[in-house]
Chain A
Amino acid sequence: MSFNEADVQAALKNLIDPNTKKDFANGKSLKNIVISGNDLSLDILLGYPAQSVWKELSSLIETHLKSALPGAGKISVNVSSKVVPHAVQQGVKLVDGVKNIIAVASGKGGVGKSTTAVNIALALAAEGARVGMLDADIYGPSQPTMLGIDGQPETDGANFMKPMTNHGLQAMSIGFLIGTSDTPMIWRGPMVTQALDQLLRQTRWDNLDYLIVDLPPGTGDIQLSLAQQVPVTGAVIVTTPQDIALLDARKGLKMFEKVGVKIVGIVENMSTHICSQCGHEEHIFGSGGGGKMCADYNTELLGNLPLDIHIREQTDSGTPTVVADPDGKVAKTYKQIARRIAVKIAEMAQNHNAVFPKIVVQNT
């Protein structure tokens, strides 16, 4: 029995991508169907980085096609990922070399915003994405320490700096320029926004799929003007059970809403305690706060991390959990959260401006 392209499309309509919960037969992912005789080959292009499951997905799809197309001979499915730019707030200038910016924010300091940001960045990189980290937290730049990066960035021409690199990430931090251990600088609003605009736009980012921005905590004027000036694809809010109770996180959500930034979801940090002696996990602050807040605001709870001394030790010593213990339970949770963020971003509206075509007139 022979088959044609339409049969292949129909077969893939019935197969759901476990990550996106959508079928593979859409024009975005299904490419290059080639039928020669009874043999079939095709490409599946995922909109999110997922290097670790390409093989698994391709055999899943091949098996499905084999049973759906009884007449088929050799079937080969080539799975890969391509991240494209998605829309940002209207009227904000894009950043060269960066496809998508993910802002990580929190209603107050000390909730684990930087820890979450760096582990999400490393999880995306582990899936094959090109990822950068911009540490914009002027009050407590901690990415140099968390990424184990020392020293100062090199300049690139008169107006640019080269990002520092470690663990496969490109990084820029206000800490590289002012030092992390000194007495904290006193910042006035305009200085901050100017300094951050420079860090963002005068760093020579090299073809990033995602730039993660570790924003200063809080919901004041500085945060507000940053949220307006950085072209953000989506924001992730980090909370703890206490600050949910204190409504700080809710203020964060509202701030982004006000400036037209989409919220990807909420990460609840330190929601349970893992006993360092016996490994037992318990809810010390009561459970369900993050879930309730997400329901109230119609956003997604992306995941929760336990209060675990290893997270602190690993992250604060320059080797965050996702690289220190990549197959452990905590790293898995970070990876799931990162996957979910990437899938949600892939589903957002594409940034048409970023791919507006060149128009060339030729005498040919």
Chain B
Amino acid sequence: MSEHPTEIKLHQQSHLLEITFDDEACYRLPYEYLRVYSPSAEVRGHGTGQETLQTGKKNVGVVEVLPVGSYALKIVFDDGHDSGLYTWEYLYALGQNQVEWWLQYLDRLAAAGQRREADCEQELTGGCGGGCGHA
């Protein structure tokens, strides 16, 4: 794969990263999708079947994105996660397989009895307080 992005737009209200590649392919990737498919070792584990299922990321935001060398992006999410290096190749694959991978994620969530919505008790920080709206 040799495609390179020519433009990256962060739509901060709609929580979408819009990425255009030099073959003119353009993908709109929701922050939640990017977050739960983070390529970091924390999420991916060490090989297939070792992934840690990410849950409750429906409203995750992006604080900033930083270039890494000239081959990847580091995405800093507002839940503190920033250890994933999204290479151009991986972002391209995320775009190409968006529907399929998203459905797979929803299946895995359902199978684990988990939800996309943040759940206070499970937040590591525990700092959810009254703001989260959950009982």
Chain A contacts to B: CB under 8 angstroms: 27-28, 31, 84, 350, 352-353, 355-364
4 further A-B contacts with Cβ under 8 Å, apart from A355-B6, A359-B67, are A356-B67, A357-B19, A358-B8, A359-B10
With known contacts A352-B71, A353-B70, A359-B65, A27–B3 Cβ distance under 8 A: yes
Tell me if B125 counts as interface (CB < 8 A to partner A).
Answer: no
In the complex with contacts A31-B23, A350-B2, A352-B70, A357-B7 CB distance below 8 A: yes
Contact with B7, one of A28, A360, A363 (Cβ below 8 angstroms)? A360
Q: What chain B residues lie within 8 Å of A357 (beta carbons)?
A: 4-8, 19-20
Kindly state whether residue B11 has any CB partner on chain A within 8 Å.
yes
A358/B67 in contact, CB under 8 A: no
Q: Judging by beta carbons under 8 Å apart, are A360 and B8 in contact?
A: yes
CB <8 Å contact, A355 and B12:
no
Interchain CB contact under 8 A, A364 and B12: yes
Interface centre among A31, A357, A359 (most CB of B within 10 A): A357
Indicate if B122 sits at the interface (CB-CB under 8 A): no
Looking at A28, A359, A360, the one whose CB has the most chain B CB atoms below 10 A away is A359
Q: Report the Cα distance A350→B23, complex, angstroms.
A: 14
Q: Is B97 located at the chain interface by the 8 A CB criterion?
A: no
- Tell me the minimal C-beta distance from B102 to chain A in angstroms: 21
The 8 closest A-B pairs by CB, nearest first: A352-B70, A357-B5, A364-B11, A361-B10, A360-B9, A355-B4, A359-B8, A357-B8
B124 in the interface (beta carbon within 8 A): no
Q: How far is the CB of B87 from chain A (nearest CB, A)?
A: 11
Query: Is B48 among interface residues, defined by CB-CB distance under 8 A?
Result: no
What are 30 A-B contacts defined by CB distance under 8 Å? A27-B1, A27-B2, A27-B3, A31-B23, A84-B22, A350-B2, A350-B4, A352-B70, A353-B70, A355-B4, A355-B22, A356-B67, A357-B5, A357-B6, A357-B8, A358-B6, A359-B8, A359-B10, A359-B65, A359-B67, A360-B7, A360-B8, A361-B9, A362-B9, A362-B10, A362-B11, A362-B12, A363-B13, A364-B13, A364-B14
User: Chain B interface residue count: which class?
Assistant: 20 to 34
Q: Give the chain A neighbours of B8 by CB distance below 8 A.
A: 357-360
How far is it, in angstroms, between the C-alpha of A15 and the C-alpha of B4 when the chains are bound?
26
Tell me the complex Cα distance, A35–B2, Å.
24
* Across-interface contacts of A84 in B (CB, < 8 A): 22
A363 touches B12 (CB 8 A): yes
Chain A residues with Cβ below 8 Å from B7 are 357-358, 360
Fill in one digit per residue for B2-38: 1 if any A CB lies within 8 Å of its CB, else 0.
1111111111111000011011000000000000000
Q: How far is the CA of A31 from the CA of B19 in the complex (A)?
A: 18
Which parts of B45-82 form the interface with A (CB within 8 Å)? 65, 67, 70-71
User: Bound complex: CA of A359 vs CA of B73, how far in Å?
Assistant: 10
Minimum C-beta distance from A341 to chain B (A): 20
Complexed CA–CA distance, A356 and B73 (Å) = 11
Which chain A residue lies CB-closest to B22?
A355
Question: Which of chain A's residues has its CB closest to B69's CB?
Answer: A352
- Closest chain A CB from B92 CB (angstroms): 9
Residues of chain B within 8 A of A358, CB atoms compared: 6-8
Check A28–B2 contact: CB distance below 8 A.
Answer: yes
Least distance between B33 CB and chain A CB atoms (Å): 18
Q: Mark B100-115, 1 if CB is under 8 A from A, else 0.
A: 0000000000000000
List of B residues within 8 angstroms of A362 by Cβ? 9-12
Cβ-closest chain A residue relative to B70: A352
In the complex, which residue of chain A has the Cβ closest to the Cβ of B10? A361
Complex: chain B residue closest to A349, CB-CB: B2
Q: Report how far A352 CA is from B23 CA in the complex, Å.
A: 14
List the A residue with the shortest CB-CB distance to B2.
Answer: A28
**Hey, which chain B residues are within 8 Å of A350, CB to CB?**
2, 4
Chain A residue at smallest Cβ distance from B66: A359
Nearest CB of chain A from residue B30's CB, rounded to whole Å? 14
- Chain A residues near B11: list those with CB within 8 A: 362, 364
Residues of A within 8 A of B12 (CB): 361-364
Considering only CB atoms, which chain A residue lies closest to B13 in the complex? A364
B4 cross-chain contacts in A, Cβ below 8 A: 350, 352, 355, 357
- Closest A residue to B20 by beta carbon equals A357
Chain A positions within 8 Å of B20 at CB level: 357
Q: How far is the CB of B121 from chain A (nearest CB, A)?
A: 33
Q: In the bound complex, how far is the Cα of B6 from the Cα of A352, in angstroms? A: 10
A284 to chain B, nearest CB (A): 46
Closest to A357 in B: B5
* A360→B62 CA distance, assembly (Å): 13
A353 to B4, CA, bound (A): 10
